[in-house]
Structure 1
Amino acid sequence: MIHSVTDALQLAGQIRPISQSAPLLDMTVVNSTQESWRELLPYRQVAFERWERATRLQHNISAMQLVDAGFEEVQRILERMRPLLLIKPSAEQFERLLSLQKQLQQLQPSYLQYPLWDPMFNIIYPRRRALRRRFRLKAVSLLEPKHREESLQLLLPGADGPQSLSLQLPANTDPSRLAQLINEQLAPLGISLNVENQQAVFECDDQLWQQLQGNLSLSGQGMRLPAGEMHNIRLEELLDWRDPREWRFDSPEMLRQTRAKLERTARRIEHWRQDWQVQKQQVTSNLSQQLGEISLPPVDACFGSQLEALLAQANIGRGHAEDLLK
């Protein structure tokens, strides 16, 4: 029995051709069938476009529901921290604050392997932006003007092993111009540089940041760095006030500042959750409309039954649909 087109082609090379005096099919019927198939193609394309829009909306709803549940947990942790910040904590309360702070840091929900928010509780899905890290080099001042030109040798980790880059810093150049030159030379590596309070602040994505820690080396010519051997450079990550890792509890003043940051964070999250409740109604209504256009089951039906209904409407199988969507 022939099970596939491949089997038919293999047999065609083994069996001698049969002489044929008349066509097996009426060519009028064949042409009519081909024409009908061409007329159906636009409708199938429209069905897939509607299905794609409905699927995207479903993914957004699912992701935002995870964000909402995660923010609810954040609010519970902030509520437990609030009374501990009103007075100087005892040793036991201090340990409790550190534990709650660690729980905030560990809340990192994801959807389809994409993170939903960054360390400052900014939602980054569905844009799927990579997490960004800001840092500076400790004990090295690259923007300090010097009376002689200097060439710095930078050693960075790479996918295929360490890679070397030569930074050319001209003499008698102001910090803003030096920052521009360094930024242009580091841009191909995925590192950017900005000037903040006359200091060089670098930025890269989270993956590169993990590789750079403990693996960044520099050598100079005696101006900004000693000449000769490579020196391992320590990196200091710069944390925003919205990042719980930046919150401190060591003194009454730090407790007061942390309490203010906590309240501002709680208001941001509550505001987002209120907006989401309004948006969810609109998005769900839009999704129901999209599903209605392609004659799929309502929103509360499982996604598998919706997909099966669409495939039946388009008269194709799941494997064929996956190939078309690649």
Structure 2
Amino acid sequence: MLKGISDSLQVQQRSQTVAPTTSMQQPVKEQTKTNVARIPSHRLESYNKWARVTQGQHKISAQQVAEQGLQQVQALLKQLQNHSQQSIKADSSDSVNQALQIQQKLAGLDISYQGTQLVDHQLNLVSVQRPLAKYSFSLKSVDLTAINSRDEHVNMHIGNETVRLLLPANAQPKELLQRLDSALKPVDIQVGKSKDGRVIFKSNKSQWQQVQAGILMTGQGQRLPAGDARTIKVNEELSWQDPREWRFNNPEALKQTLAKITKTRQRIDSQLQELNNSQRHVQQQLHQVNRQKETTLELDSTLDQIKNLMQPSPFSLQVTSLMAQANLSRTQVSALLI
């Protein structure tokens, strides 16, 4: 039902961009004001209350999905920890193989709610303070920040976008890095340096999916071969928080992996506690709203607190679309919001 509301809203938003015909002279704003004026005040208050309560319920649902997902992660991490310890003690190939299978499960988890990702690929709960982790990569066999005695114009083709930049002659690596970062910002790719001085690119998931097979680039023979465009391959740079980075092939690697698993379990325990505390508080506030007649309670501040843990929901847009339809009865609106 919510999907249908969302589709209705999208149609409404698109229709607003179409110019009215000559037979429809009444301005849209005046017509909207007329419709709103016909809605009784008690019904508007009810719409407002139902919208806020349902939005809070969506937040709780998202928290519950995230909680279940993190609990699943914890269970897999505990199994992985046990198999890693067994591998160190007995040098068991079976334990290593089982650990690798669990690693694949962790890397393949998709914890989301209504299309919104709740836990990223580094096993971090997504929130306002913790946005989705970026994907990091470097270029194979090409250093765009190398000093050269001649200017070079470089084109980079990323998806449907073409990035053009000038790498000046005799420019220092720091200046070249800044130019590269500025040129790639419009396509949502950041450029920086790793601890060991290598050029590292960071992008969101959609951009990473476009470039992981390589980036089509053209140069003028200074840092890149002149002539036709060439596909420059990339190397993904994995963070220690990403389970794909963990290694099990020798005792020393297993010890390092065990330390990473321990840190990850502690981090997830902390995030589960955050979710539990917030969810309990929100449920109490929603119960209070449902018991009282007033519609302007503490739900605003409660929803603000939820936003600190979970990403904002587009539900307000759906409610705006519903409230614009003044001819709906109380029963109809209530059914749509359930």
Letter in 1 for 2:169: A
Aligned mates of 1:146, 1:239 — CA distance in 2: 30
Task: Map 1:245-264 onto structure 2 (within 5 A).
Answer: 245-264=244-263
Identity %, equivalent residues: 31
Counterpart for residue 150 of structure 1: 152
**Residues 1:92 and 1:319: Cα distance change in structure 2 (over 3 Å):** same
**Residues 1:320 and 1:263: Cα distance change in structure 2 (over 3 Å):** closer
Instruction: Compute the displacement of 1:274 (Å).
Output: 2.5
**In the alignment, is the contact (CA less than 8 A) between 1:117 and 1:124 conserved in 2?**
yes
In terms of Rg, which structure is larger? Answer: 1
**In the alignment, is the contact (CA less than 8 A) between 2:84 and 2:95 conserved in 1?**
no
Counterpart for residue 61 of structure 2: 62
Q: Give the SS at the match of 1:222.
A: coil
Counterpart for residue 29 of structure 1: none
Instruction: Compute the displacement of 1:194 (Å).
Output: 1.8
Counterpart for residue 47 of structure 2: 48
Aligned mates of 1:78, 1:128 — CA distance in 2: 21
Range with bigger deviation, 217-226 or 79-88: 79-88
**In the alignment, is the contact (CA less than 8 A) between 1:136 and 1:202 conserved in 2?**
yes
CA RMSD after TM alignment: 3.1
Counterpart for residue 177 of structure 2: 179
Letter in 2 for 1:156: I
Instruction: Compute the displacement of 1:213 (Å).
Output: 2.4
**In the alignment, is the contact (CA less than 8 A) between 2:124 and 2:268 conserved in 1?**
no
Q: Give the SS at the match of 1:67.
A: helix
**In the alignment, is the contact (CA less than 8 A) between 2:125 and 2:271 conserved in 1?**
no
**In the alignment, is the contact (CA less than 8 A) between 1:47 and 1:294 conserved in 2?**
no
Letter in 2 for 1:137: L
Letter in 2 for 1:74: V
Instruction: Compute the displacement of 1:127 (Å).
Output: 9.1
Counterpart for residue 243 of structure 1: 242
Aligned mates of 2:225, 2:199 — CA distance in 1: 20
Aligned mates of 1:273, 1:164 — CA distance in 2: 43
1:233-272: CA deviation from partner (whole Å, max 9, x where unpaired) = 1111121111101101112111111000000011111122
TM-score (norm 1): 0.74
Aligned mates of 2:262, 2:210 — CA distance in 1: 34
The gaps in structure 2 that reach 5 residues or longer are 1-35, 296-318, 320-327
Instruction: Compute the displacement of 1:40 (Å).
Output: 6.0
**In the alignment, is the contact (CA less than 8 A) between 1:115 and 1:125 conserved in 2?**
no
Aligned mates of 2:55, 2:262 — CA distance in 1: 34
Aligned mates of 1:275, 1:321 — CA distance in 2: 32
**In the alignment, is the contact (CA less than 8 A) between 1:109 and 1:117 conserved in 2?**
yes
Task: Map 1:102-141 onto structure 2 (within 5 A).
Answer: 102-124=104-126, 132-141=134-143
**In the alignment, is the contact (CA less than 8 A) between 2:157 and 2:217 conserved in 1?**
yes
**In the alignment, is the contact (CA less than 8 A) between 2:153 and 2:167 conserved in 1?**
yes
Counterpart for residue 165 of structure 1: 163
Counterpart for residue 10 of structure 1: none
Instruction: Compute the displacement of 1:64 (Å).
Output: 1.1
**Residues 1:125 and 1:290: Cα distance change in structure 2 (over 3 Å):** farther
**Residues 1:321 and 1:275: Cα distance change in structure 2 (over 3 Å):** closer
The yes-or-no answer on 1:74 pairing with 2:73 is yes
Q: Give the SS at the match of 1:202.
A: strand
